[in-house]
Structure 1
Amino acid sequence: MGWTRFVVLLLVLQVGLAGWGAVSTGGDRTMRFIAHIGNGGMLMFWLMLSVVFALIARPGLKAVLLTVLSLVMVVMQGAFAHAFGNEGTGGAVGLALHAANGLGILTVQVVVARLAKRAADEKRALRAARTAVTA
């Protein structure tokens, strides 16, 4: 449960870094986004680990599949950022898809965090019920 909250925190940071890179002035455009790009790489790594932890924790098939979906969406981010080019209509479409997909990843991970909390609460309640019966 705490792991999914950490991933949500990294995603919120990612949105903030993107905004900071977009509105800051001076310097090379790529250099302004170094923190955003680096955090994106870390997010990919953390989401790979999240899939493994979700399989171990068994929060339910829905939570596991949504975690995998988040990882796939993060991989797609690179395609959206680079495949459409940097200029003209294609670049604008790529940038818009990149931004919308990023917010989609954040939304999916919030849902995963809620599912993980629900699964943890159910396991605690079941454990408490067993303890009450044996006492």
Structure 2
Amino acid sequence: MSNKLFTKEEIELISRNKYVKNVSERSITYTDEFRRIFISEYEKGKFPRKIFEESDFVISILEIGRIESISKKWRAAYKENGIHGLDDTRKGKAGRPRDKELSIDEKYERLKVQTTLLKAENELLKKLDLIERRVIKRK
């Protein structure tokens, strides 16, 4: 991600592009459609900058470093997971997870996992205590 912060005017201009889902002063979320178009055009031999220009992005605002970075990220995701690697799997905006009401089964599973973790932690602490006692006795 670039260190450049977008101004309000730049945010407004970027958000008008049909291939942008969301834009903040720090980041841009592109549509899945644009990611697919990008990979398709890139595989035909087009340069990332040219693909962005043809998709009505203003290169002077985005900056070439940001374009190269996102291009590298998308190509790696495509190489690793195919076309599904380009899908945005976040729900809505990035950030904190949404607080949702858990079902009884989900609550039960979480409590089981938490109990197992706490039991393992207690066993580890008991073993450490035992080891410390042995070391103290030897001295």
Between the two structures, name the one with larger relative contact order (CA 8 Å, sep ≥ 6): 1
Larger Rg: 2
Normalised by the size of structure 2, how large is the TM-score? 0.28
Richer in helix (by share) = 1
Richer in strand (by share) = 2
